[in-house]
Structure 1
Amino acid sequence: MAVTKAEVQHIALLSRLAISEEESERYAQQLSEILDYAAQLNRLDTAGVEPTFHAVPLVNVFREDIQGTPIPLEAALSNSARAKGSFFEVPKVADGS
């Protein structure tokens, strides 16, 4: 499946990425190769293959949620550039409007 340079530029525009003409050409070629490979995979006969979610069985994925010993407040606040009482003090990032 051939991806055009115009399609790459459209994707870049939607992604808010600034790419050059050379990059558009290179990405069009690379995306075309990726889609061609995916098309080859779609042509494989997988009728006798059992569907799987993972290539290897997952064991011990979850652990029990056990409360540990918290670090002292002073130790936590010592990692901050500024603290106010028992809180981290950070610069304002929103103007509130």
Structure 2
Amino acid sequence: MSISNNDVQHVAKLARLNLTAEEEQTLTGQLNAILKYAEKLNELDTDNIEPTTHVLHVSNVMREDETKESLSIEQVMHNAPDEEDGQFKVPAVME
């Protein structure tokens, strides 16, 4: 499988990219190099390999839910541009 200049032009049009002829040539070469490298994977014998969802065995990556002391209102409002009654004050978006 290989990529042609027409393929690059088509994808560039879909992505709304304006490519010069030189950029199209460069991308065509780069994409073909990527495909050539990926074709090496077809040389591997994977008949006796089970499909996996992850390369490492992961059982539970979630931490325990523990309560912690949170910031005080003063600490939270320290960098607020404007506050009123312990709440962030923002410009009205609705009339």
TM exceeding 0.5: yes
Any unmatched runs of 5+ in structure 1?
A: none
Structure 2 residue 6 is matched with structure 1 residue 3? no
Moved more, 38-47 or 83-92: 83-92
Q: Give the secondary structure class of the aligned counterpart of 2:52.
A: coil
Task: Spell out the pairing of 1:1-97 with structure 2 (5 A cutoff).
Answer: 1-58=1-58, 60-80=60-80, 82-85=81-84, 86-87=87-88, 89=90
Q: Give the secondary structure class of the aligned counterpart of 1:40.
A: helix
TM-score normalised by length of structure 1: 0.69
Mapped to 2, the partners of 1:29 and 1:16 lie a distance apart of 20
Higher relative contact order (CA 8 A, sep 6+): 1
Q: CA-atom RMSD, angstroms?
A: 2.7
Moved more, 21-30 or 43-52: 43-52
The structure with the larger Rg is 2
Q: Give the secondary structure class of the aligned counterpart of 1:66.
A: coil
Percent pairwise identity: 36
Q: Give the secondary structure class of the aligned counterpart of 1:11.
A: helix
Any unmatched runs of 5+ in structure 2?
A: none
**How many aligned positions are there?**
92
Mapped to 2, the partners of 1:91 and 1:14 lie a distance apart of 39
Q: Deviations 1:12-62 (Å, cap 9, x if unpaired)?
A: 232233333222111111111212222231342211223322223236511
